[in-house]
Structure 1
Amino acid sequence: MYTRIVSAMALALASAHSVHAAEVELTLSHWVPGTHPLQVLGMEPWAESIKEASNGRIEITIYPAMQLGAAADHYDMARDGVVDIGFINPGYQPGRFPILAAAELPFLFANAKAGVAALTEWYKPYSEKEMADTYFCMALSHDPGTFHSTSQILVPEDVKGKNVRPANATEARFVNLLGGASVQVSAAESREVLAKGAAEMTQSPWESLYIFGVDSIVTHHLDMPLYASINAFIFNKGKLDGMSPEDRKVIEDHCTPEWAEKMSSGWADAEAKGREKIAADPKHTMHKPDEAQVQLWKDAAAPLTDEWKATISKTGADPEPMLEGLITALKERNSYAGE
């Protein structure tokens, strides 16, 4: 639950209150460290751009590292007005956002930059139904992630019998299909389960191994882009509706496919550099699958698409144009990893 002692939050908000307060003060909550490239290279420049575009009327205060609530609670926190802007990973709440879950399917994203621009453009209309009680701003993601293990990880068979910290609900299902057991916690909690031996593998982009302190635990790596973990910014609807038309336009102008790409670019670049660091470290082993082994992974992942389609069909919607629309959007921005 995201309940926190009211006095503690009031104190935090009071300490951030400027003597010369802006006309509109917004709280942005997320669950990665304050030093994470997503905050330093993404959120902070974004917040500053909003301040400048509003001539100082809008001020955003950022609360990192689950200060205001757990990672999985950030959608409800934004919906309920505990925070004004929430950084969410929809995959931390299995089954709640089935349309957006299409983007979690393996082997879709060739990159996170143009890829999230395409995803934001594709999902905006669907968000008006699937996230109707909030305002969907933009999708965000990292450079495609993969498996990292305490032992060899090269082919799907290597997951069988292992406990794995998956990136999201779709990847958790993938782990189960491969014969592994999923230990689903947020990235911020991954070190604890790995250090205790409750999991022997994790899914992550590369630099995050260092960010979350698991680089000394998982020293074997599947050197293959596998999945994108989808994140998003959402706004409390009441807060946005209460803004003047001028201020609302500033926010909407900062919730675009172009801003999604800007926000994700620094994060993507940092994660890619993490791969170079791992590759250069003799304590780590990179397992590079050949063409036949890559096909084994693709074949193993194929049922996930069928399951996603079945889930959407149960809602009365047609999954085929949804998925085709996402693939088309990715292709138009040269960010589709498929054939």
Structure 2
Amino acid sequence: MRLPSLSDPAARIAAAVALSALAALGTLSVLPTPAAAQAQEPEVTLRFQHFVSPNSANPKHFIEPWAKKVEAESDGRIKVEIYPFMQLGGSATAQYDLIRDGVIDGGWVIPGYQPGRFPEAEALELPFMTPKLGEEASMAAWEFTQEHLTDDFADVHLIAAHMHGPGLIHKKGPAVREVGDLRGLKLRGPSRPATLLLRKLGAQPVGMAVPAFPEALSKGVVDGGVITWEMSPSLKLDELTDSHTDVAGDDALYNLFFIWAMNKDSYARLPDDLKAVIDANSGMFASAWAGRAHDTGDAEGRAVMAAAGNEIAEISPEVTEQIRALGAEVTQEWIDEVTAKGLDGAGLVEDARAAMDRHRGTVGTN
């Protein structure tokens, strides 16, 4: 059949009408029903906050993927918004209270940023307590939390409790070779146990949340500090420091305890099936995932520091043993201190070590 010539005005009008009719039919066939359209809109939006760069290991390898997994498993009914750099307000040191008070729906917390408030958690942060793999240390931390810390964190809804990888000494100038190399240095410490250890080593500890560390280095407020490989690139430690020193052996010089938590009312308001989505992404599973994120970031961060030409060193086993002995003094002094306040210091240390030993060497063996 010969088609009419579209040079004919009447034919052009007829063709346009026909095409419009077909387009309308096509549109009708793909327009969502009102119910389907509503299902695409989230029922709940949860606002979570943290205090570091989104390119840091935990946000990159745990927090953001966790949010996406929760959204997917809720079929889009939950939307999780992640705000880095404390964009919703407040300070990193006040994060726990922001969650408790409902200023935010959830976030990442370092309990040690409030020294003395959560004393039992400090047992996990004592010198040489944890293996160097964050995933192993984090599984142990979740166990210890369930055994000892549920009352401490009763006014938030706990999703995960975890540790990072090994804490290292990053400083201007050459690497640390002897204990005496630390004498008099002003070094940033993230927690009370870390600052107790630095003082025992002869340094001048400066308690400081991580966001303040780069500026303190650039202005000469500190000579260096202790922190992980994974945080080094986002803090520009390849530019601000010259050397990075770890201790010998399989145990970390120090470690830091974190929680990932929700406001209790924000959790309670969820319908049961959406609570189940949060629950499925909580506990031991989420804690191990968070620790594994730090292990991934440690490998990446170390590579960046090496590529910058910075000195990467390991203290000899002999000097490491000297540091261990000083660390043991810190641990005993901590036991004595918290026992005097009515806690079972020796029991807390024993239980923390037992939890670590149960998970030490387990990653990659299953």
TM-score where L is the length of structure 1: 0.87
- Structure 1 residues 280 and 52, CA, compared in 2 at 3 Å: closer, same or farther? closer
State the partner residue of 2:214: 191
Tell me the residue number matched to 2:130: 109
Q: State the Cα RMSD in Å.
A: 2.1
Cα distance, 1:52–1:277 mapped onto 2, change above 3 Å = closer
Q: Which residue pairs with 2:283 in the alignment?
A: 256
Identify the match of residue 234 of structure 1 among 261, 286, 289.
261
- Say which is worse superposed, 147-156 or 271-280, in terms of deviation: 271-280
Helix, strand or coil at the partner of 1:287: strand
**Cα 1:315/1:52, change in 2 over 3 Å:** farther
**Where in structure 2 are there 5+ consecutive unaligned residues?**
1-37
Deviations 1:244-280 (A, max 9, x none): 2322222222111122111231332121232244345
Q: Give the counterpart of 1:99 among 120, 124, 128.
A: 120
Once the two structures are TM-superposed, the CA of residue 84 in structure 1 deviates from its matched residue by 1.0
Shifted more, 57-66 versus 149-158: the winner is: 149-158
Q: 2-side partners of 1:195 and 1:239: how far apart?
A: 40
Q: Distance in 1 between matches of 2:341 and 2:76?
A: 44
1:50 equivalent in structure 2:
70
Q: What is the distance in 2 between the residues matched to 1:77 and 1:67?
A: 12
Cα distance 1:335–1:307, how it changes in 2: closer, same or farther (>3 A)?
Answer: farther
Q: Residues 41 and 76 of structure 2 are in contact (CA less than 8 Å); yes or no, is this contact kept in structure 1?
A: no
What is the CA-CA distance between 1:127 and the residue it aligns to?
Answer: 2.6
Three-state SS of the structure 2 residue aligned to 1:216 is helix
Matched, 1:298 2:324: yes
CA separation in 1, counterparts of 2:78 and 2:95?
22
Contact 2:127-2:197 at 8 Å conserved across structures: no
- Determine the C-alpha separation between the residues in 2 that align with 1:183 and 1:322: 26
Asked if 2 retains the 8 angstrom alpha-carbon contact of 1:194 and 1:214, the reply is no
Match of 1:166 in 2: 189
Give the SS at the match of 1:271.
helix
1:269 is matched with which residue? 296
Q: Offset of 1:188 from its aligned partner?
A: 1.7
Superposed CA deviations along residues 38-63 of structure 1, whole A, max 9, x for unmatched, are 11221111112212222322221101
Q: Distance in 2 between matches of 1:314 and 1:244?
A: 45
Alignment of 1:136-215 (within 5 A): 136-152=158-174, 153-215=176-238
Change (3 A) 1:21 1:183: farther
Aligned residues: 318
Aligned-residue identity in percent? 27
- Give per-residue Cα distances to partners, 1:98-154, cap 9 Å, x unaligned: 111111112122210122012112212423211221122212332211111113322
In structure 2, what is the equivalent of residue 331 of structure 1? 357
The higher radius of gyration belongs to 2
Q: Structure 2 CA distance, aligned partners of 1:245 and 1:312?
A: 40
In structure 2, the residue matched to 1:85 is 106
Amino acid paired to 1:134: V
Q: Are residue 127 (structure 1) and residue 132 (structure 2) matched?
A: no
Superposition deviation, residue 19 in structure 1: 11
CA deviation map 1:4-46 (0-9, x unaligned): xxxxxxxxxxxxxx99642222111000112222112211111
In structure 1, how many angstroms separate the alpha carbons of the residues matched to 2:86 and 2:152?
A: 25
Measured in 1, the distance between the counterparts of 2:120 and 2:179 equals 27
Classify the secondary structure of the residue corresponding to 1:114.
helix
Structure 1: 5+ residue stretches without partners: 1-17
Contact 1:143 1:272 (C-alpha < 8 Å) held by counterparts: no
Partners of 1:72 and 1:222 in 2: CA distance: 27
